[in-house]
Chain A
């Protein structure tokens, strides 16, 4: 049996209490929510926190709130709750695309959006989703709250703007009209980390051109959005040629590494293939027609 090194454990009662506990127990304390990354690492003794601060009782962190121009999602919201939410599916179908392929139901019942973003695993799906939806993250600290956009929040693999003494409390998604989004992942088996994945969000202008576009890649060596792809899309009418060009540019923007999931050229090919697929689906979802070539 895999057993972790010795640690102490405390249950937080509120955001304020969590911040107090983080300060009291210092740099070797860790917040645990779903625990699906932290606990396996502890059992393998790759992570050895001295204190676990359990936030599962902090009810204020668990909500999905629709406002006129934004959707607020509490950081303790489970994957399963996002997947079950009609509001989320209606506004941002990309979230449901992604949640359907995040691990398996057992993991989705416990894992949280805050945990996923905070862990910042390079093969993690919600970072790409939040990137393309231009989400922002609310971080609470001793001095109060601050709101950062994804580009600022996500600093790279396993690294975010949330400091040791801070807590991710909320993710905010702007609601924009005439927007479509989609996500697709290739995995070797259900529940495996992504071999590669792509996410797309497009906003259409009244004249049938693309007003805004965002393309992101997962596990393919691209941090943040593929800006070169967006640049060729914005202002254009959807066409087969445009989609082909977007795929080509996404592959060029990717920088994958070889591992047991596949070689570099295959992963580059996936960046191309999956970008074209999600772009086409996002356009389809917003009702934009792509004339046959």
Chain B
């Protein structure tokens, strides 16, 4: 077994000094500055709203002020009379085109523009196309809509009660608000373990509705060319290729006549996976007017109508022995999916990957059941960097392990160490069917404890408690499951979750790599260049990364669920290796020897035993395109294309410890320190990895302390602006302290796992565990997010209340 001493110093990484000359920069993996940043730091990013096409018109959406109402009439006469208005589109108009309803990514349907009823506040009712965005907004006020109010369903706990209003009466024979029941694990076996367990703890744990709130809101510019019948659609999308296929299937435009362009995307976090009614309306608007139509939502529209996240009410139970061996975990979840079941996730997984709620522990049994319900709220559910509901799963199990620790009066870190899956058990098959690829958990937690000074902090806490001061230490340990997926198990609306990549080396030895995944700020232009650089020895700055244009890139499912590196990273590495194999044959021809007599060192082939007889990759590139007599079966280029179907997901993990201080007079929580030790396998660019972690930790603090989309009894959204929906600032987060271990994925071509969502998944329980730990002297065993001053104070008074 690895000892702490051996692992406490982190492995060496290749670093670069930005001031050093190019020759010192790593060719391949290592800490290099991001290639895309010069344009971002100069304010020269090319976002959707920066694009202006000749003759472009502007669209705006009229939205429902009510959460549930029958549409009695819509009068657009006055709006159409506005001198700058070119078109007003309603649900009736779309019905004529068979576009009033569209399929969701979860085998449901959703209204594009309402025809019969409105089902949540902010739902799309009409679309105005005008000469400028001001006139478009002005004209919205000229549309006269008559609504007949209906009873609303806001409390998910009561959505299935008999007599409750039926939201989806558009679905034939629908008489309730039930969407699905889904389960994983063995119920009988789990119940049997619980029945004989010496200790059982249970809590209702709520992960409230939050919103990804990307800095750039969603939008589209549709440019339909009536002469050649081609639709060019600029979109804020994380999945351009999937969108192209869906538009072809739904709108009937042939797929080769659709081009999706996603430029720079100002944050996605899952908010930009699905197709929103505004995109479809922009397309229809362009077809109707014959001009390009731009639609960009405002902040309130984004918060009120686009994909929310979470909204899980979880009853968690843990069975254990008296000395703290965890035997089983079971849970029932009530999932609020809003008015349409529009979550974006693999078809066979209606609750995403929630069944990974067994966490990082070796259990005898586990079972979960999930019931999805409709409510009069915006649709969505899988967003905000959640890895398809791993966030909810990790939050549940990590909160419950702390509940158990408190009950047993055990240290929460010691309890975790006692129950970890051991390194020799990998690949580890858990009780709900997942095969964890690799892991070595204890060194990561030990490193985290050492880095934060765990024992000293516990002593300090004891002293402070004696003085009536409130200090809490929160531990969480997570295992992620990312990189969907093996296509035989995982698809989205029938499209297998594989991704393509194409590598071309130009005659002068520069290269281009084309990706199907779509960056939203993650640094793809750097990371993927580094993967090619590592395989071919071409400097990253000599490699152009092309993405975000379906006419220029191979097919693939896009970026979400931390799948870019696990899936496209595999595709790129394998494509580069194909290029290298081909280069070897050409180099052999150039050196007048056999390929098997050549050795490779990064960037050059040389004859075994005679290193001076060599050809660099750049020389081979020129040779491939030049006059070298090519071996049989080798054509004159250095190109390769691969579509990578991952054999399994990857399972990154990490140990997080958070220290909070709470003002006992006001309930205000201050996050004092946060140490995050992550293991994502091979680290391609450690700076980008850390950047991903820093962002995710800020998200986690935000969710734990302040983020929440609430509704009043009439169904009014109470989180519709940044005055009401709070996201953390630099003032609420500490200086992040990070560490890492490296446990490569055994099945991935370069041993890499995804990192994009680890911190968002792992950090909320660390913060909440710290808050509950601080409040333990008040007898608090659990409190739900968000831990606002008022809610913390209520918990101190002995009445922690769920937020919903």
Contact = CB atoms under 8 A, between A and B. Distances in A.
Interface string B708-742: 10100000001001011010110110000000000
Nearest to A190: B731
Contacts, number: 69
B666 A1 contact: no
A2 B729 contact: no
B706 interface: yes
A266 interface: yes
Contacts of B133: 1, 3
Interface string A184-215: 00101111110100000000000000000000
Contacts of B81: none
B291 to A, nearest CB: 19
A260 B724 contact: yes
A159 interface: no
B298 A1 contact: yes
B137 A3 contact: yes
A273 interface: yes
Nearest to B786: A188
B371 interface: no
Nearest to B791: A262
A186 B729 contact: no
Given A189-B726, A195-B790, A262-B793, 18 more contacts: A3-B134, A5-B138, A5-B141, A6-B134, A188-B788, A189-B728, A189-B731, A192-B723, A192-B726, A260-B724, A261-B790, A262-B789, A262-B790, A266-B793, A267-B790, A270-B666, A273-B665, A277-B665
Contacts of A263: 790, 794
Contacts of A86: none
Which of A44, A262, A266, A273 has the largest number of chain B CB atoms within 10 A?
A266
A6 B788 contact: no
B217 to A, nearest CB: 8
Contacts of A266: 667, 789-790, 793-794
Contact of B732 (A186, A189, A260, A274): A189
B296 interface: yes
Interface string B267-300: 0000000000000000000000000000010111
Category for how many chain B residues contact A: 20 to 34
A218 to B, nearest CB: 14
Interface of A: 1-3, 5-6, 44-45, 104, 186, 188-193, 195, 260-263, 266-267, 269-270, 273-274, 277
Contacts of B134: 3, 6
A260 B793 contact: no
B718 A188 contact: no
B493 to A, nearest CB: 31
Contacts of A193: 723
Given A189-B706, A190-B732, A260-B724, A1 B790 contact: no
A43 to B, nearest CB: 8
Contacts of B137: 3, 5, 45
A46 to B, nearest CB: 11
B726 A186 contact: no
Closest 4 pairs between A and B when the two form their complex, measured CB to CB: A262-B790, A190-B731, A2-B298, A266-B790
Nearest to A276: B665
B747 interface: no
Contact of B299 (A2, A5, A260, A262): A2
A2 B722 CA distance: 13
B761 to A, nearest CB: 22
Contacts of A45: 137, 141
Nearest to B136: A3
Contact of B789 (A1, A6, A186): A186
A182 to B, nearest CB: 15
A1 B219 CA distance: 10
B296 A1 contact: yes
A212 B137 CA distance: 55
Nearest to A266: B790
Interface in B660-705: 665-668, 705
A260 B790 CA distance: 9
B138 A104 contact: no
A21 to B, nearest CB: 24
A260 B710 contact: yes
Interface string B463-482: 00000000000000000000
Contact of A260 (B300, B667, B718, B789): B718
B790 A2 contact: no
Contacts of B724: 260
A190 B730 CA distance: 9
A158 to B, nearest CB: 16
Contacts of A190: 729, 731-732
Which of B296, B667, B705, B791 has the largest number of chain A CB atoms within 10 A?
B667
A216 B143 CA distance: 47
For chain A, what secondary structure do more than half of its interface residues adopt (helix, strand, loop), or is it mixed? loop
Which of A191, A260, A269, A273 has the largest number of chain B CB atoms within 10 A?
A260
Nearest to A272: B665
Contact of A195 (B732, B789, B794): B789
A45 B138 CA distance: 10
Contacts of B718: 260
A189 B729 contact: yes
Contacts of B789: 186, 188, 195, 262, 266
A188 B706 contact: yes
Nearest to B663: A186
Nearest to A262: B790
Nearest to A273: B665
A191 B134 CA distance: 29
Nearest to A269: B793
B138 to A, nearest CB: 7
10 contacts: A1-B298, A3-B133, A6-B138, A186-B789, A188-B726, A189-B726, A189-B732, A262-B789, A266-B790, A274-B666
Interface in B418-455: none
Contacts of A3: 133-134, 137
Which of B300, B732, B793 has the largest number of chain A CB atoms within 10 A?
B793
A249 to B, nearest CB: 17
Contacts of B729: 104, 189-191
B719 to A, nearest CB: 8
A263 B795 CA distance: 13
Interface in B294-317: 296, 298-300
A186 B666 contact: yes
Contacts of B706: 188-189
Contacts of A188: 705-706, 726, 788-789
Which of B666, B726, B728 has the largest number of chain A CB atoms within 10 A?
B666
Nearest to B702: A189
A174 B788 CA distance: 38
Interface in B48-77: 49
A192 B299 CA distance: 17
Contacts of B732: 189-190
Interface in B530-589: none
Nearest to A270: B666
Contacts of A277: 665
A287 B133 CA distance: 60
A141 B674 CA distance: 56
A274 B668 CA distance: 13
B726 A273 contact: no
Nearest to B134: A3
A1 B300 CA distance: 9
Contacts of B705: 188-189
B298 A262 contact: no
A277 B137 CA distance: 48
Interface in B108-136: 133-134
Contacts of B788: 188, 261-262
A45 B731 CA distance: 31
Contacts of B665: 273, 277
A44 B137 CA distance: 11
Contacts of B794: 263, 266
A46 B134 CA distance: 16
B231 to A, nearest CB: 24
A4 B706 CA distance: 29
